[in-house]
A and B are shown apart, each in its own frame.
Chain A
Amino acid sequence: MATREELSEFLAGVERRAFKQAVFAVRDESHALDIVQDAMMKIAEHYGDRPAAELPLLFTRILQNATHDFFRRSKVRSTWVTLFSALNPDAEPDADPLETLEASGDTRTESTETSYEREQIVAIIEEEVAKLPARQREAFLLRYWEDFDTAEAAAAMGCSEGSVKTHCSRATHALAKALRERGITL
Chain B
Amino acid sequence: MNQDEFGFRVRQALNDGAERLDYRTVLRLEQARRQALGRQRRAGPATVRLPALQLATAGAPPIDSGGGAWGWLRGAGLVAPLLALAVGFVAISHWQEELEIQRLAALDFAVLLDEGPLEAYADQGFGVLLQAEQRADR
Contact = CB atoms under 8 A, between A and B. Distances in A.
A145 B35 contact: no
A58 interface: no
A168 interface: yes
Nearest to A46: B41
A47 B43 CA distance: 10
Interface residues of B, number: 33
Contacts of A118: 16
Contacts of A29: 25
Interface in B63-95: none
A144 B33 contact: no
A172 B6 contact: yes
Contacts of B18: 16-17, 19-20
Contacts of A172: 3, 6-7
Contacts of B32: 15, 33, 36-37, 40-41
Interface in B12-41: 13-21, 25-26, 28-29, 32-33, 35-41
Contacts of A37: 28, 32, 35-36
Nearest to B9: A186
B7 A49 contact: no
B7 A44 contact: no
B12 to A, nearest CB: 9
A16 B36 contact: no
Given A143-B7, A144-B7, A186-B1, A49 B37 contact: no
Nearest to B33: A11
A20 B22 CA distance: 12
Contacts of A145: 10-11, 14-15
Nearest to A24: B14
Nearest 5 CB-CB pairs, A to B?
Answer: A144-B7, A49-B43, A48-B40, A48-B41, A40-B36
22 contacts: A1-B43, A11-B36, A15-B32, A16-B26, A33-B29, A33-B32, A41-B36, A44-B36, A45-B39, A49-B41, A119-B20, A121-B13, A122-B20, A125-B14, A125-B17, A126-B14, A129-B10, A144-B11, A145-B14, A175-B10, A186-B6, A186-B13
